[in-house]
Amino acid sequence: EVQLVESGGGLVQPGRSLRLSCAASGFTFDDYAMHWVRQAPGKGLEWVSGISWNSGSIGYADSVKGRFTISRDNAKNSLYLQMNSLRAEDTALYYCAKEMTTTVGPFDYWGQGTLVTVSS
């Protein structure tokens, strides 16, 4: 059974940093690209960042470019999101998601999310 479990969220002051983790199991982690998607309270889905299976291709939404860094450790079946210079508008539930295929695909499995609240 595929499982994605996010952790690392919490309350943080503006300008500070936070590192999110996603532990994956139930599939061959290093075969698939992985992504972070966020959802602000009461709002829609926003793609944040994605990373290819071998970390060779990485992308970011304009809203987080230069502040967030995605990475993965295939030996540990884990995905990470380093978030620096956090702003109030980064407050959201952050989901980890797996691509459906080993090439280009939608997201077939999602975690339950970890909540990040940026507030003084």
Question: Residues interacting with other proteins, by CB under 8 A?
Answer: 35, 37, 44-47, 50, 57-62, 95, 99-100, 104-108, 110-113
Rg (CA), the chain: 13
Shortest CB 18 distance to other proteins, Å? 20
DSSP state of 76: G
Residue number with CB closer to other proteins (66 or 75)? 66
- List strand residue ranges (DSSP E) for the chain, in order: 3-7, 10-12, 18-25, 34-39, 45-51, 58-60, 68-73, 78-83, 92-99, 107-110, 114-118
| Shortest CB 59 distance to other proteins, Å | 2
The residue among 63 and 91 lying less far from other proteins, judged by its C-beta, is: 63
Q: Identify which of residues 16 and 43 has a Cβ nearer to other proteins in the complex.
A: 43
